[in-house]
Amino acid sequence: MKTYQETLHRSTSGHGDLQDLTPDVAAVVARSGVQRGLVHIHVVGSTAAIGTIEFEPGLQQDLPAVLDRLIPPGRSYLHERTWHDGNAHSHLQATLIGASVTVPVRDGAPVLGTWQQIVLLECDVRARQREIIVTVQGT
């Protein structure tokens, strides 16, 4: 079994910034030479998330809005007693979505639905520089 890894770097604009990683991930898979296996995408950090969604303007606004309703910004979180940085909800939202996703690889490409893209969601309250580790394994 072959393992190949690359690191992607993305600048985000802060809370709610949703970015399509699909073309970059597909390019990493192609460079790996793996025809059949898995691609694992992981964001380093505790206030960003990786997932899949239809990357279209409505959902780009809906996802952060729903997360803000489920886990709203506020100073009442216990995390604020320690750090006073206003981003407790960022940690909680990122944890809810998750820091990584694994997608099958078939015929040298990620297997995704027509309306399914791999995305990075910035949950932190400020712009960040994100490191995304893409690992491809297979034959």
Return the domain boundaries, the chain. Answer: 2-138
Residues 6 or more apart in contact with residue 24 via CB below 8 angstroms: 8, 134
pTM over 0.75: yes
Cα 74 versus chain centre, distance = 23
pLDDT digits (tens), the chain, 139 positions:
999 999 999 999 999 999 999 999 999 999 999 999 999 999 999 999 999 999 999 999 999 999 999 999 988 899 988 989 999 999 999 999 999 999 999 999 999 999 999 999 999 999 999 999 999 999 9
Give the separation between CA 68 and CA 31, rounded to whole angstroms.
38
Sheet holding 117-122, edge to edge: 18-20, 117-122, 48-53
Q: Which CATH architecture has domain 2-138?
A: Sandwich (2.60)
